[in-house]
Amino acid sequence: MAEYVLQAQTLLGGYDQQFGAIRLREITGADLISAAIPQGGEAAIGKELKRLFGCALPSIGKSVIADDVRIIRLGADQLFVLMDERQSGKIPDLKEQLSSVAYLTDQSDSWVMLEIEGQDVRLALERICMLDLDPQTFAIDDLARTLMEHMGAVIVRTSEDRFLLMSASSSALSFLHSVVTSVRNIS
């Protein structure tokens, strides 16, 4: 046992609040791995994803759920692999398996993750998100990089009325405040 022990801390203390029909909560304990696709390596990573998760490489702006792991295609050469706490034991394995086909960077601590869910969720999000979140144009599993209240953000539609919002961890409090304000302003 080491003399000094480091305690892990969540960004928002596991924030979880209900505002009328809207629930807003911090996602904690999730692991997020960035996988940069080497030039000309798309086929190889596609093959590896097929082998590991049984899914194809999603196209840019789309995500897929496979084996409780969400694979998020952010750009031509960038994938995020998001695993919730239930998958945490698998991280070293996954890193090992993907490292031959992608350049990996642990992004788990770089982002604050919020899940916002409820009937009026789009009314709240339209106060901070400039994207068209109509299901016709932003379907389930669609995602985009965008800006919310001057903060870089990633938004993923995880179901009809549920979105995953990610933003820089250092401004997590400001990000939470902006989303809470949006919800309060409509509720």
Residues lying near other proteins in the complex (CB under 8 A): 1-10, 34, 36, 38-39, 77-78, 103, 105-111, 126-132, 134, 137, 149-151, 168-171, 173-175, 177-178, 181-182, 184-185
Partners of 114 in the β-ladder: 26, 165
CB of 74 to other proteins, least distance (A): 10
User: Cα torsion for 140, 141, 146, 148, to the nearest 10°?
Assistant: 60
CB nearer other proteins, residue 70 or residue 122: 122
CB of 172 to other proteins, least distance (A): 8
Spatial distance between the Cα atoms of 125 and 113, rounded to a whole number of angstroms: 15
> What region does 77 belong to: left with phi over 0, alpha with psi -120 to 50, or beta?
alpha
The residue (of 36 and 65) whose beta carbon lies closer to other proteins is 36
Q: Which lies closer to other proteins via its Cβ, residue 24 or residue 166?
A: 166
Q: Based on CB atoms, which residue is closest to other proteins, 53 or 103?
A: 103
CB atoms within 10 A of CB 7: 4
